[in-house]
Amino acid sequence: MKTLEQLNALCPSSLMGHLSIRFTEAEPGMVKAEMPVDERNVQPFGRLHGGAAIALAESVASAASWAMVENERTLVVGSEVSASHVGAAKPGTMVTAVGRLLHGGRLHHVWEVIVSNESGKTITICRITNTIIPPP
């Protein structure tokens, strides 16, 4: 299992860095991250953009799968995302995503990721499938 430092090292030069996503907890089968809601990720009506919530969820699931693989040269790629937006978050707040492993096979991982606002209300529910590509 990779460390929080290793997971957060993925962020600066990627979409995760642009959105200020930061991993806060990691253990086998669970990863947690947070993201501020601000002008970078809101829709025109002043609420968290659904695409930004999905980007947070997919970042959590991908990092969580990568944290589980032993060979550093193994690739993890998202292959399917399903999301339901059921709540909202306003600028100036923080959202949290918690990913839990549903299936951890050799070539596929399936995660459920719940994005919540500061009061714990669910914003987005995602199911994400990652494909694991071993090195040649």
Amino acid at 31: V
Report, as residue numbers or ranges, the catalytic residues: 58
Instruction: Record the tokens describing residue 87, joined without a space.
Output: 């709540």
Cα separation of 78 and 57, whole Å? 11
**CB-based burial label for 12 (10 Å; 0-12, 13-18, 19+):** exposed
CB 18 within 8 A of CB 62: no
